[in-house]
């Protein structure tokens, strides 16, 4: 993991080794794209890369930008990413202001006729954006995590299919068929979730998370986000904030608090100890499970994993979710930077 690549402000401090490996990586993946006549599609976070790969299959070249395990909210692309952005035909970003530095680099480098598609902005009108503790309205950046809600992931698939079909009409039927198959999987996942969440004792569908990635999911599926630990600067909360959270967890009888793979936090452990709540530290919002090439390494694998973890963490059973087959609906040949 080349952490220095994506820490804010660290792009100029690349080690020689990291710079070398990045150059090697981008030329390996970009050169075939230039030759085969297929669209080159750049994407940002891994869940969007996975959805784009499911729609584009083997008819497009998909290359992600944000390395998995990275804090995507503070990610700044290395200068070398400009090479990919200058050759891409389409640049899919989540939008809702998640990837402003990447968009800036894209706008400065993209070729004639290329376009940036802000997927989230297309599927959710601005008056429905959610602001909260980690994404306060006065800062102007809404909670961007639409893809953790399968009903929005389905809409992402449609925006991607619309875009690819328009740019590559010869393969439009292929993209449309993949869109339909992918949406069927999102429906299957949503139905399994609705069934399994009924098993959580006392209807206690309450989430106290470290990283606040489930705001839209909660609204759609009737969960309550009782709090998020991570302040807007993505650092640990202050001792006063921790004390307040401990009081809140005790007062609301939250049985389990959920941490994030990408943001290991001693603070959550402390809150768990002080309140008796169980600390479940493996939720992930944009770091796919498994390794590229494995079925679980996908949007579907990611969300199925999170929902099972939440439901079991709250004392329910997840038999329906476990019965959902995790598979890509088209071959996933995308590049996922690690």
- Under the rule (CB under 5 A), what is the footprint of Zn ion? 213, 285
- Token pair belonging to 81: 């990413």
Instruction: Please give the DSSP secondary-structure letter assigned to residue 288.
Output: -
CB of 148 or CB of 163, closer to Zn ion = 148
Q: State the Cα–Cα distance between residues 203 and 185, nearest whole angstrom.
A: 26
CB of 105 or CB of 213, closer to Zn ion = 213
Q: Least CB distance from residue 282 to Zn ion, whole Å? A: 15
CB of 206 or CB of 211, closer to Zn ion = 211
Q: Least CB distance from residue 45 to Zn ion, whole Å? A: 8
CB of 149 or CB of 285, closer to Zn ion = 285
Q: State the Cα–Cα distance between residues 267 and 126, nearest whole angstrom.
A: 33
CB of 100 or CB of 173, closer to Zn ion = 100
Q: State the Cα–Cα distance between residues 215 and 225, nearest whole angstrom.
A: 7
Q: Least CB distance from residue 70 to Zn ion, whole Å? A: 10
Q: Least CB distance from residue 11 to Zn ion, whole Å? A: 20
Instruction: Please give the DSSP secondary-structure letter assigned to residue 232.
Output: T
Residue that is written with structure tokens 């497009």 in the block:
60
Q: Least CB distance from residue 72 to Zn ion, whole Å? A: 6
On whether the CB atoms of residues 62 and 53 are closer than 8 A, the answer is yes
Q: Which residues pair with 42 in a beta bridge?
A: 63, 91
CB of 62 or CB of 213, closer to Zn ion = 213
CB of 213 or CB of 268, closer to Zn ion = 213
- Token pair belonging to 109: 């480098």
CB of 40 or CB of 213, closer to Zn ion = 213
Residues 6+ apart with CB under 8 A from 270: 242
On whether the CB atoms of residues 201 and 315 are closer than 8 A, the answer is yes
Q: Least CB distance from residue 148 to Zn ion, whole Å? A: 9
Q: State the Cα–Cα distance between residues 297 and 203, nearest whole angstrom.
A: 31
The residue nearest Zn ion at its CB is 285
Residues 6+ apart with CB under 8 A from 244: none
Q: Give the DSSP H/E element, type plus range, for residue 90.
A: strand 90-93
Q: Least CB distance from residue 212 to Zn ion, whole Å? A: 8
| Residue from 168, 178, 194 nearest 51 by CA | 178
On whether the CB atoms of residues 14 and 78 are closer than 8 A, the answer is yes
Q: How far is CA 171 from CA 39, 62, 159, 167, 324, in A?
A: 11, 16, 16, 9, 29
Q: Least CB distance from residue 197 to Zn ion, whole Å? A: 22
């Amino acid at each position: 993991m080349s952490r220095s690549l994506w820490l804010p402000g660290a792009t100029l401090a690349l080690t020689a080794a990291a710079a070398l490996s990045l150059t090697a990586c981008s030329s390996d993946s970009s050169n075939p794209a230039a030759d085969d006549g297929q669209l080159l599609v750049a994407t940002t976070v891994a869940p969007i890369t996975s959805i784009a790969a499911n729609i584009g299959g083997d008819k497009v070249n998909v290359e992600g930008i944000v390395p998995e395990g990275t804090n995507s909210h503070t990610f700044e692309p290395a200068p070398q990413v400009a090479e990919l952005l200058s050759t891409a035909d389409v640049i899919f970003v989540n939008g809702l202001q998640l990837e402003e530095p990447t968009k800036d680099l894209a706008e400065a480098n993209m070729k004639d006729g290329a376009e940036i598609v802000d997927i989230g902005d297309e599927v959710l009108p601005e008056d429905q954006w959610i602001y909260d503790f980690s994404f306060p309205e006065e800062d102007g950046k809404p909670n961007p995590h639409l893809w953790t809600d399968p009903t929005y992931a389905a809409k992402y698939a449609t925006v991607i299919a619309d875009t690819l079909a328009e740019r590559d009409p010869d393969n439009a039927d292929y993209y449309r068929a993949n869109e339909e198959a992918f949406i069927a999987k999102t429906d299957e996942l949503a139905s399994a979730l609705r069934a399994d969440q009924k098993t959580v004792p006392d209807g206690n569908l309450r989430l106290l998370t470290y990283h606040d990635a489930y705001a839209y999911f909660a609204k759609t599926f009737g969960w309550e986000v009782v709090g998020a630990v991570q302040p807007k600067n993505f650092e640990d909360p202050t001792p006063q904030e921790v004390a307040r959270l401990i009081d809140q967890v005790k007062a609301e009888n939250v049985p389990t608090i959920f941490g994030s793979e990408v943001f290991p936090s001693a603070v959550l452990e402390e809150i768990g100890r002080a309140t008796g709540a169980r600390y479940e530290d493996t939720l992930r919002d944009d770091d796919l499970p498994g390794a590229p090439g494995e079925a679980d390494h996908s949007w579907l694998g990611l969300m199925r994993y999170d929902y099972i973890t939440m439901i079991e963490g709250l004392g329910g059973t997840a038999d329906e979710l476990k019965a959902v087959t995790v598979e890509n609906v088209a071959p996933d040949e995308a590049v996922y930077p690690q």
